[in-house]
């Protein structure tokens, strides 16, 4: 499979996606479009965590923190000053919060950039920790972000959060960012820098002996991940039009982690498949939270039942298919071609 | 002859244990030298001190006249020293060629920004790295299995891949930690030829740790013998073989007395 064929096929695929989105926009109801939007955002989030955890081997649980930063920065920037006057009812917003305003594209980039900056700053001390300790420390970071967001009402409007955030994040923006993330992640991972990420995951000592500045490369990967987590958070804020600190609890990180682990740590295709599948399932499984009537026996609806089902699914995945759907494998055009020829995929 | 590597009084203490004491060696440019001694004599500790994995308690390391003491491993590698490990440490989930490409990273000029933007310079350099890595695999005789995952390779191939990966960092000084471990006599013989070949081809100076005496005596021009962290002898193969202290260290006092 040569280079130009691959590029052509990729363009065709992107074209098909475009056509599908165009069709979806005109023919699907708001609920289904919302699910499509969530798929794109979840794929962005999964790819960013997979870059950190799956490809560079850093066990990070700080995703909700980066998402919160991206969401707040973006929301502050896209809401109009008038809107902010009516919104900040507890305390008046700080002047720079009150007066800053930017177009959506700039706001999303800013959200990602500020998250990346935080990634850089907290990564510098934290990435010296290994494995589980890093997980605990990043989890702590995410909680700190949430608590701070709760306690600086002049910036974040405290526990009330933001309402009526302009809903700029339509299918085109979300899938545009999703494709951009995908392009970036694929380019990085297919380059020698990506090989080095994986080298650190496989054997840090050997990587050092090969002249790799392990700490610098880890920080690079962590900052990338933080940037796209911030972007994901920013899109999510505009998509849901309302955010508050409670939204960025650990369960949010858990959702992303679940997608990454189910898809396969170290597989881009896995993140895409699981991102799509799990987002759809999360909605579809809402029926388990409704009251169930079998004969004359009625089970009252239990809110949160979906998460119980998902936890079970995750346990089953860990027990029976620890490497996830894809393991570290990828589906690319070469695999597809072999499959079409009837050979082993 | 100029010295490429000089160590002066290297000492490594772990708490009360003196793993290596006062190790001083001068290694001539372009030579093949050996570091031998019974198990636990402190050979690998010496390697770790030279390559920056351990910070010596006392003493200094000079490479090409510049002091390396206290540098981190990646800086030592950048300076031109590469190593292999006693227990093979490959990047197991990566293919053979990717392993070698990772070795090239330290000399790569284009960075991630250029990779993302696909600048011509970066694409060209990545292609060069791939070609050069393929050549290196060819040198160690692994060109045919370039696309195999490293941890699926047979033991001997893994050893050779580790050497190819070390060569990819463009070293001037190569440290091999037990390259013949687990090899049969025929393979050891080939290894000796191979070590001499890469020395000439890549203009290297080689220091190796080895237990296989046939290999050490066959390939090394000069060697140091450690026992309990102390340098008990140094010299050429003949001098070492007839040195009573060395015989005693390897075979025991009793053996020497009754031999």
The reply to whether B51 touches chain A by the CB within 8 Å rule is: yes
Cβ within 8 Å, pair B77-A188:
no
Residue A276: pLDDT band (50, 70, 90) is very high
DSSP letter at B149?
B
The reply to whether A7 touches chain B by the CB within 8 Å rule is: no
Residue A341 lies in a domain: no
Considering its fold, how many domains does chain A have in total? 1
Residue A332 lies in a domain: no
The partner residue sitting opposite B106, judged by closest CB among A187, A205, A211, is A211
Residue A221 lies in a domain: yes
Q: Where are the alpha helices (DSSP H) in chain B?
A: 43-50, 73-79, 96-104, 112-117, 120-139, 155-168, 185-202, 213-219, 237-241, 244-251, 253-258
Whether B256 has a pLDDT exceeding 80, the answer reads no
Q: Mean pLDDT throughout B213-225?
A: 91
Cβ within 8 Å, pair A328-B106:
no
**Residue B8 has what pLDDT?**
93
CA distance B122 to B139: 25
**Residue A213 has what pLDDT?**
94
Mean per-residue pLDDT over chain A, rounded = 90
Whether B254 has a pLDDT exceeding 80, the answer reads no
**Residue B259 has what pLDDT?**
55
List A residues 166-225 in contact with B (Cβ-Cβ < 8 A). 184, 187-188, 191-193, 195-196, 198-199, 201-203, 205-214, 220
Residue A88 lies in a domain: yes
pLDDT in tens, A75-108: 999 999 888 888 888 888 888 888 888 999 999 9
**pLDDT above 90 covers what percent of chain A?**
61
Residue A104 lies in a domain: yes
Task: Name which of A54, A181, A185, A191 to mutate to probe chain B: the one with the most chain B Cβ atoms within 10 A of its Cβ.
Answer: A191
**Residue A86 has what pLDDT?**
87
Backbone CA torsion sign across B177, B218, B19, B252: positive
User: Could you tell me the residue range of the domain that residue A148 belongs to?
Assistant: 28-249
DSSP letter at B95?
B
The complex's ipTM works out to 0.91
**Residue A343 has what pLDDT?**
56
Q: Mean pLDDT throughout A203-210?
A: 94
Residue B13: pLDDT band (50, 70, 90) is very high
Residue A282: pLDDT band (50, 70, 90) is confident
Q: Which two tokens stand for residue A214?
A: 């392990």
The partner residue sitting opposite A191, judged by closest CB among B93, B115, B166, is B115
**Residue A178 has what pLDDT?**
96
Shortest distance, CA A202 to any CA of chain B (angstroms):
5
**Residue B40 has what pLDDT?**
86
The partner residue sitting opposite A198, judged by closest CB among B51, B74, B94, is B94
pLDDT in tens, A305-333: 777 888 888 788 888 888 888 888 888 88
Q: Mean pLDDT throughout A271-285?
A: 90
Whether B191 has a pLDDT exceeding 80, the answer reads yes
Cβ within 8 Å, pair B90-A192:
no
**Residue A237 has what pLDDT?**
95
The partner residue sitting opposite A206, judged by closest CB among B89, B122, B126, is B89
Residue A264 lies in a domain: no
Query: For residue B2, which phi and psi values (nearest 5 degrees)?
Result: -80, 150
Q: Mean pLDDT throughout A230-251?
A: 94
pLDDT in tens, A45-67: 999 999 999 999 999 999 999 99
**Residue A58 has what pLDDT?**
93
pLDDT in tens, A155-178: 998 889 999 899 988 999 999 999
Whether A344 has a pLDDT exceeding 60, the answer reads no
Cβ within 8 Å, pair B115-A207:
no
**Residue A345 has what pLDDT?**
42
**Residue A299 has what pLDDT?**
75
C-alpha dihedral over A175, A178, A183, A184, to 10 degrees? Answer: 150
Residue B184: pLDDT band (50, 70, 90) is confident
| B121: exposed, middle or buried (Cβ count in 10 Å: 0-12, 13-18, 19+) | exposed
pLDDT in tens, A130-151: 778 999 999 999 999 999 999 9
**pLDDT above 90 covers what percent of chain B?**
71
Residue A91 lies in a domain: yes
Residue A96 lies in a domain: yes
Task: Name which of B51, B52, B74 to mutate to probe chain A: the one with the most chain A Cβ atoms within 10 A of its Cβ.
Answer: B74
CA distance A57 to A60: 9
């Amino acid at each position: 499979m040569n280079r130009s064929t691959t590029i052509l096929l990729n363009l065709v695929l992107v074209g098909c996606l475009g056509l599908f989105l165009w069709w979806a926009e005109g023919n699907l109801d708001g609920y289904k479009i919302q699910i499509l939007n969530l798929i794109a955002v979840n794929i962005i989030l999964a790819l960013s965590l997979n870059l950190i955890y799956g490809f560079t081997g850093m066990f990070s649980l700080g995703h909700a923190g980066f998402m919160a930063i991206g969401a707040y920065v973006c929301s502050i920037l896209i809401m109009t000053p008038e809107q902010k006057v009516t919104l900040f009812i507890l305390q008046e917003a700080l002047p720079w919060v009150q007066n800053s305003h930017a177009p959506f594209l700039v706001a999303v980039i800013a959200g990602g950039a500020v998250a990346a900056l935080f990634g850089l700053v907290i990564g510098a001390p934290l990435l010296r920790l290994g494995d589980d300790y890093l997980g605990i420390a990043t989890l702590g970071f995410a909680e700190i972000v949430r608590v701070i967001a709760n306690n600086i009402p002049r910036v974040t409007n405290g526990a009330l959060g933001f309402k009526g955030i302009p809903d700029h994040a339509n299918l085109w923006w979300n899938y545009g960012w999703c494709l951009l993330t995908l392009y970036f992640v694929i380019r990085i991972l297919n380059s020698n820098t990506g090989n080095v990420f994986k080298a650190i995951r496989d054997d840090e000592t050997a990587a050092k002996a090969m002249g790799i500045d392990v700490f610098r490369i880890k920080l690079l990967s962590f900052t990338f991940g933080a940037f796209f987590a911030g972007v994901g958070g920013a899109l999510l804020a505009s998509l849901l039009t309302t955010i508050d600190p409670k939204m960025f609890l650990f369960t949010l990180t858990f959702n992303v982690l679940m997608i990454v682990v189910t898809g396969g740590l170290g597989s881009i295709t896995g993140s895409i498949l699981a991102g799509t599948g799990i987002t759809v399932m999360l909605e579809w499984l809402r029926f388990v939270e409704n009251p169930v009537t079998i004969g004359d026996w009625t089970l009252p609806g239990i809110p949160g039942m979906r998460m119980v089902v998902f936890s079970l699914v995750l346990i089953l995945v860990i027990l029976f298919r620890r490497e996830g759907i894809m393991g570290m494998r990828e589906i690319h055009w070469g695999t597809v071609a072999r499959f079409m020829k009837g050979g082993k995929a | 002859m100029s010295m490429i590597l000089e160590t002066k009084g290297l000492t490594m203490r772990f708490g009360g244990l003196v793993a290596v004491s006062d190790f001083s060696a001068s290694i001539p440019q372009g030579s093949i030298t050996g570091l031998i001694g019974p198990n636990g004599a402190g050979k690998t500790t010496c390697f770790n001190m030279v390559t920056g994995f351990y910070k010596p308690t006392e003493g200094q390391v000079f490479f090409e006249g510049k002091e390396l003491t206290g540098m981190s491993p990646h800086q030592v590698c950048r300076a031109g020293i590469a190593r292999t490990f006693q227990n093979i440490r490959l990047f197991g989930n990566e293919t053979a060629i990717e392993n070698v490409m990772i070795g090239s990273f330290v000399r790569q000029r284009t960075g991630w920004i250029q990779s993302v933007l696909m600048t011509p310079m970066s694409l060209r350099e990545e292609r060069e790295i791939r070609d050069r890595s393929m050549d290196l695999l060819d040198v160690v005789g692994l060109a045919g299995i370039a696309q195999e995952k490293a941890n699926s390779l047979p033991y001997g191939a893994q050893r050779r891949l580790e050497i190819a990966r070390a060569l990819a960092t463009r070293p001037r000084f190569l440290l091999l930690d037990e390259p013949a471990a687990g090899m049969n006599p025929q393979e050891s013989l080939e290894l000796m030829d191979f070590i001499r070949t890469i020395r000439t081809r890549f203009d290297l100076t080689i220091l190796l740790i080895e237990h296989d005496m046939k290999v050490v005596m066959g390939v090394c021009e000069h060697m140091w013998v450690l026992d309990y962290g102390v340098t008990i002898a140094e010299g050429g193969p003949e001098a070492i073989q007839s040195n009573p202290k060395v015989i005693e260290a390897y075979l025991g006092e009793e053996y020497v007395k009754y031999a």
